[in-house]
Chain A
Amino acid sequence: MNWVGLQMLRNDRAKFAAMIVAVSLAVFLMQNQAAILATMLSMTAAQIRDVQDADLWVTEPDVECFDQVKPMRDIQLLRVRGVAGIAWAAPLLKIDAIGRSEGGRLNTVTLLGIDDASLAGLPQKMRVGRADAIRELDTAIIDPGGHELFFPGEPFRAGRSVRIRNRRLRIVGVSDIAAPFTGLPMLHTSRSTAAAFNLGEQHMTSFILARSAPGSRPEALCQKINTLGGLRARTTEQFAADAMWFYGSQGVPMLFMVTITIGLIVGAAITGQTFLMFIKENARPISMLKVVGTTDRQLGTMILLQGAVVLALGSCFGSGIAAAVCNVIRTQPFLRSLYLPWEIALGTCFALASVTGIALYASFRHVRGLEPAAVFR
């Protein structure tokens, strides 16, 4: 009987196509917007997650995200090192400065000073060059977006330089870190080199990166460090979540949520309405099926299957379109981090299915209420 239902659906090409297109577009719109929103939020935590060798971040107590720099006292590093269960701890310095390229392009840049001794927090993925080349004095590696800002349209290569506060910083590589939320060029350099640009403030440590020793739980270590007083320790994921929440609670994501909701409602409305129309137009054949002894249960399964097929096909096509568009957008250096969390990819499809499910239920109610005797008239 299910097969009969599918044949009926296939036979009504116009509505079948309309429903698939509606589902596709709704899924595409929702996934696209969700991808942008997720990417934007993840960008606010990108620099935190990009530090792959540490699993703990220790900051001043009121720091909520990576862009809030609160100078830390050097002695704090030693206090963290002294906590039992900490494998190691290293400082990270973050400074904003104004950089000028050889071509005279001026940009505010974010300088990240990596601990000279250990190079903890160094980018792991590079597009050009080796990351540990920053051990040399007055060298830095730049992120792809920064390269684009300073040397627009030029292919990535090492060997250029950026002047900051009248000192020449030689670019020895291009990193492959996630794009930052601020869009500012990210320059990784050694902490000693970065400190030389840090004229206004005298601090040397913005964050303390730490790694839990094998066998100790990062969360428990955070607790331990927090009781020391004057420090706030978080796991990488906690800190990333805090950063995302910090930016996420500032309203912009609401706009995206509105668009996503509109996509959901419009998609479900068109699909549901078309489906209901399809069922109503087939009232006579369905009555005939009821007369010849098709049970309500069989009809319900049939409708569910028809809906499932429409939703599945539409979701597949919509996801495909969204993925294709996403891939095109990713070729831009500033948007290189665009991604769709797989949970959201599935979630959008299921959300649409759930809302469309209302229409399927309405269709079933309609079918159940059909008077089979009507077929004799």
Chain B
Amino acid sequence: MKQYLLPVLAAGAALFATVSVVRTQPVREVTEPVSPPPASSFTDTVAAVGLIEASTEHISVGTPLSGVVTEVLVTLNQSVRAGTPLFRLDTRALQASLAVHESQLTAARARQATAQCQVEDLNDRLERSLKLRSSTVISEDEVIRTRFALKVSQARVVEAQAEVAVAEASAASVRTEIARSTILAPMDATVLQLKIRPGEFAAAGASTAPLILLGNLSPLHLRVDIDEHEAWRVQPGTRAKGHVRGNADLASPLSFVRFEPFVIPKRSLTGDSIERVDTRVLQAIYRLDRTDLRLYAGQQMDVFIEASGTPTASR
């Protein structure tokens, strides 16, 4: 038995070594990602990223007047018809100015009435003077003076009328300003963003942050950035598919709408304050054909467009 001790021990050591070595060999088995990235269903593909937008594109509603907002008349996601008031600005100063102008109008009208009375009075006097001219009670000279006085007062009436017109125009102008302080929807659309609240100051002019963003959400459009190197491979009207980020199984067929005729620098949508210019892209607009997906304007999608030809060395 003793002669087998050494081989048995050695076999044990070898077994232990074998098990250890085998057990510690790094294993690399191929696995699937948690949610696999989208895969193209076409043989030749141009891959791109698209941004969902309203079919009307996005309308940033601005204000013609600067002022404090007193009232917001719509809510987020509300559908509005053209002409629906969206919000109102503070008009107290304009109302006060309107009161002044209206008083001035009243005064002008009064002055016009006074002048009118004077004309009538002089008319009357002139008629009587003419009747009495044969007598010598009233001299010729007096008649002539009366006639001139009438002319002056007639001119005063015209002046007063003009004053009334000016006062009326002023009041109307203020009323227009008041009307402009209520901002109306320019078209039928949905409120996509509401960045203005009562009490906030709305500045007139172009702004990077729109006060209210309007757009028509049915149907949704997809603005697809296509790398300029790949642009030649994309034909209008070919099939395309957009995949929802986070679940590549959710996809919608896309219908070609149009190309933007002008190629622009691509922005990488990192959400970073300084966005880096990457390359130039051709923008193509596609319509999202599926409506049952929960998709939102401003969301990114992975897009595969059926391409013609295979890419060759471009650089």
Contact = CB atoms under 8 A, between A and B. Distances in A.
Interface of A: 10, 42, 49, 52-53, 55, 73-75, 77-84, 86-90, 115-122, 124, 131-132, 178, 192, 195, 202, 204, 213, 227-230, 236, 312-313, 315-317, 319-324, 326-327, 330, 337-342, 345
Given A74-B268, A117-B248, A319-B17, 12 more contacts: A42-B26, A52-B28, A53-B33, A79-B227, A87-B39, A117-B302, A119-B33, A132-B34, A312-B10, A323-B17, A324-B20, A339-B24
A195 B270 contact: yes
B136 interface: no
A323 B6 CA distance: 19
A49 B28 contact: yes
B83 interface: no
B10 A84 contact: no
A342 B13 CA distance: 15
A313 B30 contact: no
B276 to A, nearest CB: 5
B22 interface: yes
Interface string B271-304: 1101010110000000000000000000000101
A313 B6 contact: yes
Given A117-B246, A313-B7, A339 B26 contact: yes
Contacts, number: 164
A253 B117 CA distance: 119
A279 to B, nearest CB: 20
B26 A178 contact: yes
B99 interface: no
Contact of A319 (B14, B46, B302): B14
14 contacts: A53-B32, A73-B279, A81-B40, A82-B46, A117-B35, A228-B313, A230-B315, A313-B6, A317-B13, A319-B17, A326-B24, A327-B24, A339-B26, A345-B21
A75 B26 CA distance: 35
Interface in B181-236: 227, 229-230
A323 B313 contact: no
Given A75-B266, A78-B227, A118-B33, A49 B26 contact: yes
Contacts of A81: 40, 45, 47, 302, 304
A52 B29 CA distance: 6
B315 A124 contact: no
Given A82-B47, A204-B268, A326-B24, A120 B33 contact: yes
Contacts of A330: 24
B31 interface: yes
A124 B32 CA distance: 10
B310 interface: yes
B134 interface: no
B259 to A, nearest CB: 18
A81 B307 CA distance: 13
Contacts of A73: 278-279
A179 B259 CA distance: 50
